[in-house]
Amino acid sequence: MPKNFAATRLVNLPGAEPKITAAQLWKALELKLKQPELFLPAATGASFASEGGKSIRSMNTKAGKVVKESYETYEGTMTYLDGVDGDFRVTNLISYDKNNELLLTFSFVGGIPVVAGLGENHTAEELNKIVGDVLEKTIDVSRDLVKKGVL
C-alpha cells in the first residue's frame, strides 16, 4: 500500500441538490472534526484535550482503537490532522477547479488511518475507490445537513 495518497471529488455533481457552498462545506469539515462518527463509518466518537499547547483529538473506532491526533484548522480551506506519534498526516482541503467548481481533497502521508479494508497490495486505483468512497460519504452527509438546515 502506498504510504502517501490523495483523492479529490467534485462537491456539486450535475443535478445534485441543494448545491453546497464553500462556507457550508467548511462548516461540515469543522463538524467532521468534532463529530467524526457522522462522516466516518469506522468512528464512534471523539474526545478533545490540549497537550503541550496543541489541540488533540482522540477518536474512538468500532474496532476498539483510539486514534490520537493533533489538529490545526485554517478557516475556509484546510484541516491538518497529525498522528501524535508522527506516524501520519491527514489533510482535508477545499479548493476549486478551473471552472470555479468546488472540490474536496483528502490527502494522507504515512498511511491511511481508520479506513477499513486496507491491505499491503492496494493499487492507486483501488485506493482512489476506497478514499473516494469516504470523500463521497462526507459530501453526501454535508448535503443532507444542508437540507436539514444544520449547515
* Rg, Å, the chain Cα set: 15
Q: Is CATH 3.40.50.1370 correct for 4-144?
A: no
**C-alpha dist (Å) from residue 58 to 45, 82, 88:** 9, 11, 14
CA distance 88 to 113: 8
Using one digit for the tens of pLDDT, what is the confidence trace for 47-76?
999 988 889 999 999 989 899 999 999 999
Instruction: Mark the ranges of the chain whose per-residue pLDDT is less than 70.
Output: 1-2, 114-120
pTM score of the predicted model = 0.90
Quote the longest CA-to-CA distance of the chain: 47
- Residue written as grid cell 441543494: 18
